[in-house]
Structures are given as structure tokens and as C-alpha cells.
Amino acid sequence: DVSIALCVEAKVLHATLKRLRTADIAIKHTPGKGFITLKSGRSEIQLNTLDGDLFPAQKELTGETKRFSFDTSDELQGMYKSVSYACAKNESRPILTGVFQRNEKNRLEVMATDSHRVAVSRSHEDDLKFPDSNLTAVVPESTVTSIIKLLNKREDDKVTVTISSNAVSYELDNVKVTSQQLEGNYPNLDRLLPDGDLENKVNIPVSVLQDAAAFVSMFDNESNKRLVIKIIPEYGQLRISSVKG
């Protein structure tokens, strides 16, 4: 067997594979030609290549590593989806553009904030095999988005997460994604979260809340993007309004 390493432009390759209708695709490479040939049915396509040695080598996790696994990846995907929207888009504080994750006893906790809002999600599984010491990581939002897409069609696959001092990796059956962590100290969000029982709690269908917020938002303008939510216990109501100011 001969080992071959080549680089192909990802967007072009992905678009090409989407348009090939047959299940079987033959890939042919002739050394020194600078392209590969994809043949599927009556279609034959040539794609330019670069020397595979030019591609950066995947960095191995160094130092002390900590590892935990989900038997199915759908829970991790759901957790990331539920918090990633709250990551900061402004690069003025780079650490806030990532998702912070840590272990709380035998559960995983992920959170994100842009300093105006905080989103937190905790795993349902109580039997995650965490190391004895605490583990923390700040994963770039771009990496989290990629992992969500990767797990979208692999919800039943086991996923293993490994964390080192400066990187994090995700391993599935035949895929491994490694990402650098964001550098810096993530703010302590515990002081921003409610401690103990809240004074007022309201259970409301998600669709109802979404529709109400969307309706009120129609009356916002560029200088006013605030919605005021008020709970009125004596009437069993939750009111949403748009207030100028």
C-alpha cells in the first residue's frame, strides 16, 4: 500500500460530492499531475490539489489530559445549541466569544455570556465518568458550531471529549476534531445566577413566549431594542412590552 497526502479545497470538494448522484465514487490520483479525478457514473471531474505536506499537522494534546464521554451525542449537541447563541460577537473581550464548560460532580455544565445575558445548560446524565479533579475549558464559538453540525447526523454515536491545558478534542467513531482553547480567565458567572428559589416562577409554552416576543419586537426601532417582561401573580399573567427610553 502507498500512502498519499493531498489537499483539496474543502468548499469545492463538498459542493462536488453533493451533486454526484450515485453512491459509488472512484477517486484517482496520478503523481505529479496536480489534480485528482472523481468518477461517478457518467460523470468525471478533475479537482486541483496541493501537496499534503503543506497542511498544518494536527496538534496532539500535551500535558495532563482529562476525558469524559457521552454514550449518545445528542445531549452534548443540545447543550451546545442552547447556550452558543449567547457568546459575544464583539472581539473586545475574546474570552467571551467562547463557551465555558466545567464539571459539577458527575454532570457537565456549559455556559456562555456576552456580558448582557447568560445561558447555562447542565447534562442530565449523572454517571459521566469525570476525573477526580475539576476540568474547565473555553471552546471557541466557531468550534462549538462545527461540533453541532458534526453531531447533527450522528446523534446515536458515542462522543468522547478530551481536555488539556490549552486544547480540547472531540472523538466519534471515525472523526476527531481538535481545537485550541481561548486564552484568559473566564468570568465567574455564579454570582450572576439566581441562588436558591426564585420569588416568582412561571411555566409557559416556548411557542407562546416566542410568538409574544416576536410580536412586541415589531414595534422596536434601532435606538430601542429592549423588551420588558413583567410577572403579575394575582392575574396569573406574564406581560411583555416594548418601552421607549
Angle made by CA atoms 164, 155, 124, in degrees to the nearest 5: 70
Task: Taking residues 33-49, report their average pLDDT.
Answer: 89
Task: Taking residues 93-121, report their average pLDDT.
Answer: 90
Q: What is the pLDDT of residues 188-197, one digit of tens each?
A: 888 777 666 6
The model's confidence at residue 219, banded by pLDDT at 50, 70 and 90, is confident
Give the highest mean pLDDT range of 22-26, 69-73, 144-148: 144-148
Stated pTM of the model: 0.75
Task: Taking residues 156-184, report their average pLDDT.
Answer: 90
- Of the given ranges (89-93, 114-118, 147-151, 214-218), which has the lowest mean pLDDT? 214-218
Q: What is the pLDDT of residues 49-104, one digit of tens each?
A: 988 888 887 777 777 788 888 888 888 999 999 999 999 998 889 999 999 998 87
How many CB atoms within 10 Å of residue 162?
A: 19
What's the rounded Cα separation, in Å, for the pair 24 and 234?
66
Angle made by CA atoms 151, 157, 160, in degrees to the nearest 5: 85
The model's confidence at residue 147, banded by pLDDT at 50, 70 and 90, is very high
The model's confidence at residue 127, banded by pLDDT at 50, 70 and 90, is low
Q: What is the pLDDT of residues 81-96, one digit of tens each?
A: 999 999 999 888 999 9
Q: What is the mean pLDDT of the chain?
A: 85
Nearest CA to 51 out of 18, 4, 97 is that of 4
- Look at residue 242 and tell me whether its pLDDT is greater than 90: no
Higher pLDDT, 208 or 195: 208
Angle made by CA atoms 131, 121, 132, in degrees to the nearest 5: 10
- Look at residue 200 and tell me whether its pLDDT is greater than 70: no
